[in-house]
Chains A and B, each alone.
Chain A
Amino acid sequence: MQNELSVWTLIFEATIVVQLVMLILLLASIVSWVMIIQRLLVLNSADQGMWNFEKRFWSGMDLSQLYREGSNQQKDNKPTGGMENIFRAGFKEFMRLRQQGGVSAEGIMAGAQRAMRVAYSREEEKLEKHLPFLATVGSVSPYIGLFGTVIGIMNSFIALAGQGQASLQVVAPAIAEALIATAMGLFAAIPAYVAYNRYSTRVDAITGNYITFTEEFAGILHRQVFGNQK
């Protein structure tokens, strides 16, 4: 009689190609989960850092003191948050240009804004790291699984041709084996896809906040520059 079926026997008795596909999918699933968890931590900390900094910024604190606090924090090997980095880049450039002298107010503003743009794109890059990988896993792993299934079913039909007579006992295990590959592909794809959508929305929200802050800060600097000129 036919020996009992189990997922494990199916996996271990599958053909090499199908096993390879399953291995790739398992690795993709593990790596994508690493990314999911790591991104979650990074985005959470970016969110929190942003709110904290905004609160401090709008508390009426002197801007140069805020800058000094950030410097001290960096000296203590504690990294500053994304929004603070933008602020620091803009403020540093602004102070440097002002101290240089002989630079027009427009020139100072343009320099500060350029520095902030650079810092902004760097922060955005940090936030969006690994998200393309999640998108790739989400969209490609079902296809990889499907490939494994097609190969498995092909093999089962080739074996069937040798058998001469098709009975359910011959066909069923091979098809079950082939379908495991699809199941694994979906298993890897679904969390990756959900996480990609969710995280890109969050990154959009955070970078939107960064842009708003950049504009606000530019406004403040603008006021300072042109106020002093009078």
Chain B
Amino acid sequence: MTAFNGYPFSVFLAVLLHGLIIGTLLMMQRVSSEPAELVRPPSVQAQLVAENPQARNEQVQAQQAEQRRQEEARQQEAQRQAEQRRQEEAARQEAQQQAEAEAQREAEAERQAQLQREREVQQERERQERLEQERLAQQRQEEQRRQEEAARQEALRQQQAEEAARQAEAQAAAQAAAQDQVAGYTAIIHDLVQRNWSRPPSARNGMTAVLRIRLVPTGDVIDVEIVRSSGDAAFDRAAEDAVRAVGRFRELSSMPPRLFEANFRSLLLTFRPEDLLN
């Protein structure tokens, strides 16, 4: 019986046991950590402004359509020019034939020579006309190019405008986030002070003490003064002691300096024993 050692089986069982225990621990941890995430103060907010992909697609499509239309126009223009060139070619050939006929009939009247000269003049005029047309075509092309340039600039301007709008939106979101953050930090401060506040027995409902706290960016309280007394010295003192007992609001040290300067350099706290029964 001693040759039976059962080591592989035991190793398997032992490792399984530990795996089970660790797994259970992990599960419990996960379950217990879920509500903790829900309690988090809403001080952190997404500041990313979502781009609308649909609008962008539409814009891109419109640009493409515009380009296509321009391309078509350019092609039509080219066709028209080709047609003209063909017509001119035909005219030139005809003129040549006529000239040949003229040469054959040179012995005939000078009137015909005159006519030919006139024709030559006409040809010259036609050539000039052709040149003129070419120049016109060039001008047209330039015009088109200029228009395209203008369109591109327009698009660029639009994009910039959109960019600006997006930035403005982001800024607005950031501002909202900052307000949320301020609210979160204020809640933390109230919570801390409240925890450290032991109300004197002389506290009555309706008493109100307003304190001004001066803070430095590390969260340390450097000064506490009573702005409005409740009329009860013990109550005032207790409120002041509560702030001094906190001493330092550690959470404030992690906030952006701009936010701090804007909201927390000097802070008014109101103490009201509202939750008392008497």
Contact = CB atoms under 8 A, between A and B. Distances in A.
Interface of A: 1, 4, 6-8, 26, 29-31, 33-38, 41-42, 45-46, 48-49, 79-82, 123, 126, 165, 167, 169
Contacts of A31: 14
A28 B9 CA distance: 18
SS class, residues of chain A in contact with chain B: helix
Contacts of B3: 79
Contacts of B13: 33, 37
Given A37-B13, A167-B250, A42 B37 contact: no
B210 to A, nearest CB: 28
25 contacts: A1-B40, A4-B37, A6-B29, A6-B33, A26-B18, A30-B14, A30-B15, A33-B10, A33-B18, A34-B10, A34-B11, A35-B10, A36-B14, A37-B9, A37-B14, A38-B5, A41-B9, A42-B5, A45-B4, A46-B2, A49-B1, A79-B2, A81-B1, A126-B2, A167-B250
Nearest to B25: A7
Contact of B6 (A30, A42, A82): A42
B1 A30 contact: no
Interface string B217-230: 00000000000000
A35 B18 CA distance: 14
- The 4 closest A-B CB pairs, nearest first, are A33-B14, A37-B10, A38-B10, A79-B3
Q: Binding site of B, secondary structure by majority: helix, strand, loop or mixed?
A: helix
B6 A29 contact: no
Interface string B114-152: 000000000000000000000000000000000000000
A81 B248 CA distance: 75
A80 B1 contact: yes
A211 B164 CA distance: 98
Interface string B1-40: 1111111011101110110000001100100010011001
Given A4-B33, A8-B26, A38-B5, A165 B248 contact: yes
Contacts of B41: 1
Nearest to B11: A34
Interface in B249-278: 250-251
Nearest to A85: B2
A228 to B, nearest CB: 34
A79 B40 CA distance: 66
Interface string B155-170: 0000000000000000
A8 B29 contact: yes
Contacts of A7: 25, 29
A159 to B, nearest CB: 15
A6 B29 CA distance: 7
Contact of B1 (A1, A4, A37, A45): A45
A38 B7 contact: yes
Contacts of A167: 250
Contacts of B10: 33-38, 41
A8 B251 CA distance: 25
Nearest to A167: B250
B165 to A, nearest CB: 34
A31 B248 CA distance: 50
Nearest to B40: A1
A8 B26 CA distance: 8
B4 A41 contact: yes
A206 to B, nearest CB: 12
Given A6-B29, A48-B1, 4 more contacts: A1-B40, A1-B188, A34-B14, A38-B7
A19 to B, nearest CB: 15
Contact of A34 (B7, B26, B250): B7
A30 B14 CA distance: 6
A123 B5 CA distance: 14
Nearest to A29: B18
Contacts of B1: 42, 45-46, 48-49, 79-82
B183 to A, nearest CB: 15
Nearest to A170: B250
Contacts of A4: 33, 36-37
Most buried by A among B1, B11, B188, B251: B1
Contacts of B6: 37-38, 41-42
